[in-house]
Structure 1
Amino acid sequence: MSEASQSQTVQPPAPTSSLRLIATLGAIALFAGLLVVSVVEWTRPIIADNHERALQQAVFDVIPGAAERRDFVLTEDGPVPKEEAQERGPIIHVGYTADGDLAGVAMEASGRGYADVIRILYGYDPSCECIVGMSVLESQETPGLGDRIETDPDFLGSIEGLDASLNEDGTGLKHGIRTVGPGEREDPGDIDGITGATVSAEAIGDMLHRSANERLPQLQGHWSELERNE
Structure 2
Amino acid sequence: MTKEKQEIPQANEASSFKMLRAMAGIGLLCALLIVLTYEGTLPRIEQLKAEALEAAIFKVIPGTTQTKAYALKDGEFVALEGKENAEKKIYAGYNDNNELMGFAIEASGQGYADIIRILYGYDPAQQAVVGFYVLDSKETPGLGDKIEKDDNFLANFKALDVKLDETFTKIVNSVVTVKSGAKVNPWEVDGITGATISSRAIGNIIAESSKEWMPILYPQVDHFKQETAQAETSTH
Does the TM-score normalized on the shorter chain lie above 0.5?
A: yes
Residue 209 (structure 1) aligns with: 207
5+ residue gaps, structure 2, are 1-7, 232-236
- CA contact under 8 A between 1:75 and 1:89: conserved in structure 2? no
Residue 167 (structure 2) aligns with: 169
Describe the superposition over 1:54-83 as per-residue Cα deviations: whole angstroms up to 9, x where unpaired: 111111110111111111112332211123
Distance 2:173 2:20 in 1: 68
CA gap of 1:29–1:161, structure 2 versus 1, over 3 A, is same
Q: Which of 104, 129, 132 is 1:134 aligned to?
A: 132
Q: Which of 146, 153, 173 is 1:155 aligned to?
A: 153
CA gap of 1:43–1:218, structure 2 versus 1, over 3 A, is same
SS of structure 2 residue aligned to 1:200:
helix
5+ residue gaps, structure 1, are 1-11
1:17: Cα distance to partner? Answer: 6.7
1:112: Cα distance to partner? Answer: 1.3
Once superposed, which parts of structure 1, at least 4 consecutive aligned residues long, lie more than 3 Å away? 14-30, 86-89
SS of structure 1 residue aligned to 2:219:
coil
Residue 46 (structure 1) aligns with: 44
1:25: Cα distance to partner? Answer: 4.2
- Aligned-residue CA RMSD in angstroms? 2.3
- CA contact under 8 A between 1:177 and 1:189: conserved in structure 2? yes
Distance 2:78 2:132 in 1: 24
Count residues in correspondence: 217
Q: Which of 31, 34, 38 is 2:32 aligned to?
A: 34
Write 1 or 2 for the structure with the bigger share of helix. 2
SS of structure 2 residue aligned to 1:105:
strand
TM-score, structure 2 normalization: 0.83
1:106: Cα distance to partner? Answer: 0.6
Distance 1:178 1:120 in 2: 16
CA gap of 1:178–1:56, structure 2 versus 1, over 3 A, is same
Distance 1:89 1:37 in 2: 26
Distance 2:96 2:154 in 1: 26
Residue 104 (structure 2) aligns with: 106
Distance 2:159 2:24 in 1: 61
Distance 1:193 1:27 in 2: 55
1:18: Cα distance to partner? Answer: 6.6
SS of structure 2 residue aligned to 1:115:
coil
